[in-house]
Amino acid sequence: HAKDSGRGHYQFFTPDMSQRAFDALHMESQLREAIAGEQFVLHYQPQLSLADGRLVGLEALVRWQHPQRGLIGPDAFVPFAEARGLIAGIGRWVLCEACRQLKAWFGAGWPMVPVAVNLSAIEFRQPSLVQDITEILAAAGLAPQYLEIELTESVLMDPGGFALGTLSKLKALGVGLAIDDFGTGYSSLAYLKRYPIDKLKIDRSFVCDIPGDGDDVAITTAIVQMAHSLKLLTVAEGVETPEQRALLQSLGCDEYQGYLIARPMDTAALQAWMAQRSDNAVQPSSNSPSP
Ligand code: C2E
Ligand code: MG
Ligand code: MG
Ligand code: MG
C-alpha cells in the first residue's frame, strides 16, 4: 500500500490512525482545560427502597460539558482520564460538587438521603484520599453519613493490605461503602467478610434479563441471600421493567435504581421529579380548593 499512496514514509499511518492519535492528543489537552475550567456537571439518579418505595439515595454521575461537542458521558472520558493521570482532578471536583449540592438541597428541605459518588480504583489508591474526603466533607458542612463511596471489585483485590486500611479509615470516618457492578469482577468472596462494606450493587447485566433468564434469576437470588447473610444491603442496578422490580422485591433485595424510576437527571429535572413526588405523596384531599 506504500506504493499505492506514493508516500511510503507514512505508510503505517492510515488516515484513521493519525486521526486517532490526533484525537488522543487533543483529548488530553482538552481534558486538562476541562478540569481547570470545571467543565463538568453531575446528573443524579434516585435510588428507592423496594419495600416501600421511599427515596433512599441519589447516585451522582459525571458528564463533561464540552464547549463544542456538548454533553459527553463518563464512559467516553473517565477511562482515558484514568490512563493519563487526570482522574484525580475530576474526582475531586465530583466529590466537592456532590457534597456541596446535597448540603444545598438539605437546606431547601429535600429528603435527608446520602449521595453516592463513584471512585475509580486509581482515585482510591491516592494516599491522601481519606484526608481529602475529610476536608471536602468539612468544607461542605456535610455529615459523613450522607456520603457513600462506590468502588469496583478491582479495589478489593489487594493482598498488600492497603485497601483494607483505606476502607477501615473511611468506615471510621462514617462514610458509606458500596461495591459497584457486583458480580462482574474477579474479587474473592473472602474479601466481603474482611472488608467493612455496607452494600453490594448487583450489576445491571444480571438484572436486565430477569425474570425470564433462569441463570440470572439464580445469580441474583444468590447475591441477595449471601449479602444478607453477611449483613450487607443489596441494590439492584439498571431496573427497567415492573417485572424486574417485582422479582427483586420477592427476593428481598433492599433497593433499586434504573430507568423504571428515572434516568440520571440534571438538577433542574431532579427538582421537578422531587416536586412531583412530594405532590403525589401528600395528597391534598381535605384542603384542596373545590371548583
Ligand atoms: P455505574 O456507576 O455502574 O453507573 C450506572 C450507569 O448505568 C450510568 O451510566 C447510568 O446512567 C446507567 N443506568 C442507570 N439506570 C439504567 C437503566 O435502567 N438501564 C440502563 N441501560 N442503564 C442505566 P453513566 O452515567 O454513563 O456512567 C457510566 C459509568 O461511568 C458508571 O457506571 C461509573 O462506573 C462511571 N462514572 C460515572 N460517574 C463517575 C465519576 O464521577 N467518577 C468515576 N470515577 N466514574 C464515574
Ligand atoms: Mg455507580
Ligand atoms: Mg454500576
Ligand atoms: Mg459501571
Distance (Å) from CA 37 to ligand 3 centroid? 28
Distance (Å) from CA 201 to ligand 2 centroid? 8
Distance (Å) from CA 240 to ligand 3 centroid? 14
Neighbours of ion ligand 2 (CB under 5 A): 118, 150, 180
**260 Cα nearest atom in ligand 1:** 18
pTM (2 d.p.)? 0.90
**For 35-60, what is the mean pLDDT?**
97
**For 76-90, what is the mean pLDDT?**
95
Mean confidence (pLDDT) of the chain = 89
* Closest residue by CA, ligand 1 atom 4: 61
Distance (Å) from CA 178 to ligand 4 centroid? 12
Name the pLDDT band for 22 (thresholds 50, 70, 90): low
pLDDT exceeds cutoff 50 at 286 = no
pLDDT exceeds cutoff 90 at 72 = yes
**For 93-97, what is the mean pLDDT?**
98
pLDDT exceeds cutoff 70 at 213 = yes
Residue with cell 458521558: 73
**Ligand nearest to the CA of residue 44, numbered in listed order:** 1
pLDDT exceeds cutoff 60 at 3 = no
**pLDDT, tens only, 98-129:** 999 999 999 999 999 999 999 999 999 999 99
Name the pLDDT band for 252 (thresholds 50, 70, 90): very high
Name the pLDDT band for 181 (thresholds 50, 70, 90): very high
**For 211-230, what is the mean pLDDT?**
96
User: To test ligand 1's pocket by mutation, which of 99, 118, 180 has the most ligand atoms within 8 angstroms of CB?
Assistant: 118
Give, to the nearest 10 degrees, the angle between helix 242-251 and helix 214-229.
40
pLDDT exceeds cutoff 90 at 13 = no
* Closest residue by CA, ligand 1 atom 46: 118
Name the pLDDT band for 279 (thresholds 50, 70, 90): low
Q: In whole angstroms, what is the distance from residue 121 CA to residue 125 CA?
A: 6
- Ligand 1 pocket (Cβ < 6 Å) reads 45, 61-62, 73-75, 78, 91, 94, 118-120, 150, 180-181, 204, 237-240, 258-259, 264
**Ligand nearest to the CA of residue 238, numbered in listed order:** 1
**pLDDT, tens only, 137-171:** 999 999 999 999 999 998 888 878 889 999 999 99
**Ligand nearest to the CA of residue 121, numbered in listed order:** 1
